[in-house]
Amino acid sequence: MNRKYRKTVIAANWKMNKTPSETKAFLTEFKNKLPRSRWCDIVFCVPAIDISAAVRAMRETRVAIGAENCNAAASGAYTGEISTGMIVDAGCKYVIIGHSERRAMGETDAEVNAKVLAALGAGLHPILCVGESLEQREMGVTEEWIAMQLKAALQGVTEDQMKKIVIAYEPIWAIGTGKTATPEQAEEVCCAIRTMIRKRYSAKIGRAVTIQYGGSMNEKNAFELLAQPDIDGGLIGGASLDTDKFLAIINAANQPTA
Ligand code: PGA
């Protein structure tokens, strides 16, 4: 982390967990446990059906709510989909885009790019996910792969718009597996991502972009991961489903930085 230049963002990705009533109960408990001191930015990305309950529960707090996906179209015949306009109107500030679980369901780089542009157009902060498979890591093509994913996802994104994007580096082999990247492995890729952004935009944008790590981040490994200079937060699945574990990660994000 480096609080001088950029925001630290700890984001929960609930995936397909918790009903609206469970959301209300969880977030009420979370709110009561959240100390009054100043915290990093906190976001709960929740299933679409839980958004209203989450927004209501977190009203009058600094905690933001996000969606886990969106459709790039403004409206129309897309049964089961939700638009960025709906997400904003429901009270969200963020939306996860390009999560590897959605890419595995067939989401293409072109779709990811269209969603990023739609989210920016609606005033949302996209949390843009990138990451390599185990096979790609073993072949030594991690950075090339991520450079390609970023280049495709950021097509047409202006320097001004880039200020709203959070990038989440999530190695696929570390998601939900309990296998975390070592702090060194995670830092190496997050640092490479920052260099890519700097080259594509400017030194200022490279320095200001928030880059999260995601993949089995938990209350035990968060402190060391977040101590890395280019890891500015986390996208947390499993450990975000437990108030104490998630609060411990938020606490780790409060450590002193350079
Ligand atoms: P995990 O999920 O923390 O359960 O590994 C992270 C994610 O998929 O965003």
Show the domains of the chain with their CATH numbers: 9-253 (3.20.20.70)
CA dist., res. 154 & res. 113, Å (int): 6
Sequence-distant (≥ 6) Cβ neighbours of residue 140 within 8 angstroms: none
Which residues make beta-bridge pairs with 65?
44
Find out whether 100 and 172 touch, Cβ atoms under 8 Å: yes
Which pLDDT score is estimated for 113? 98
Q: Are 205 and 162 in contact (CB under 8 A)?
A: yes
Structure tokens at 14: 């609930």
Task: Give the residue, by CA position, lying nearest to ligand 1 atom 1.
Answer: 237
Token digits of residue 154 = 């950021």
Distances (CA, A) of 152 to 64, 113, 116, 146: 27, 6, 11, 10
Q: Identify the pLDDT of residue 258.
A: 67
249 lines ligand 1 (CB under 6 A): no
Catalytic annotation on 132?
A: no
Catalytic residue among 68, 111, 132, 170: 170
The whole model's pTM is what? Answer: 0.97
How many Cβ atoms are within 10 Å of 145's Cβ, its own excluded? 16
Q: Alpha-carbon distance 49 to 20, whole Å?
A: 7
- Regarding the beta carbon of 232 and ligand 1, being less than 6 Å apart is answered no
The pLDDT assigned to 37 comes to: 75
Model pLDDT, residue 36: 77
Does the beta carbon of 181 sit less than 6 angstroms from any atom of ligand 1?
no
125 is annotated as an active-site residue: no
CA of 6: how far to CAs of 88, 89, 198, in Å? 24, 27, 14
**What's the half-sphere exposure (Cβ side, CA atoms, 13 Å) at 48?**
12
Low-confidence stretches of the chain (pLDDT beneath 70): 258
The pLDDT value recorded for residue 216 is: 95
Report the alpha-carbon distance of residue 160 to residue 171 in Å, rounded.
28
CB 221 within 8 A of CB 187: no
Nearest alpha-carbon partner for 227 in 249, 209, 206: 249
